[in-house]
């Protein structure tokens, strides 16, 4: 069986990428194959890269306050491309009411600042499986 492939993305105008790089490295060290998009990706970029790289999940880091738009747009684009089976998760500075909203529209999990890396890794091991 192949390794689980996770695309880690930093969409929007936010330039703070330390957290997503730390999580990406932790996931890689835990045995996942991780592709990092770099800064300032559009939702369209994120979905196109995810499809090109045949990933099983997309993890997005959003600290800019645009989380509702960015996550919902990625989910919308995945649906348009018949790729809703790709697990979408993320993290950032997200108010509790918005966490509830984002989960209600299909985001699998959201990790807020201070979440231990082990918690994220364990969640990924339990919730992301190879699609092909």
Give the pLDDT confidence of 10-43 residue by residue, as tens digits: 998 888 899 999 999 999 999 999 999 999 999 9
What is the domain class of 5-127 according to CATH? alpha beta
Percent of the chain with pLDDT over 70: 100
The token duo for 59 is 């993890």
Stated pTM of the model = 0.97
**Where along the chain do its domains lie?**
5-127
Low-confidence ranges of the chain (pLDDT < 50): none
CB 88 within 8 A of CB 57: yes
pLDDT confidence of residue 93: 93
């Amino acid at each position: 069986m192949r390794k689980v492939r996770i695309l880690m993305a930093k969409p929007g105008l936010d330039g703070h990428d330390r957290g997503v790089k730390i999580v990406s490295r932790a996931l890689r060290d835990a045995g996942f194959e991780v592709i990092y998009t770099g800064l300032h990706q559009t939702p369209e970029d994120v979905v196109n890269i995810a499809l090109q790289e045949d990933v099983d999940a997309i993890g997005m880091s959003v600290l800019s306050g645009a989380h509702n738009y960015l996550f919902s747009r990625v989910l919308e684009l995945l649906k348009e491309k018949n790729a809703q089976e790709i697990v979408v998760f993320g993290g950032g500075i997200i108010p509790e009411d918005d966490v509830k909203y984002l989960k209600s529209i299909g985001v699998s999990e959201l990790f807020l600042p201070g979440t231990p890396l082990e918690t994220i890794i364990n969640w990924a091991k339990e919730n992301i499986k190879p699609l092909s």
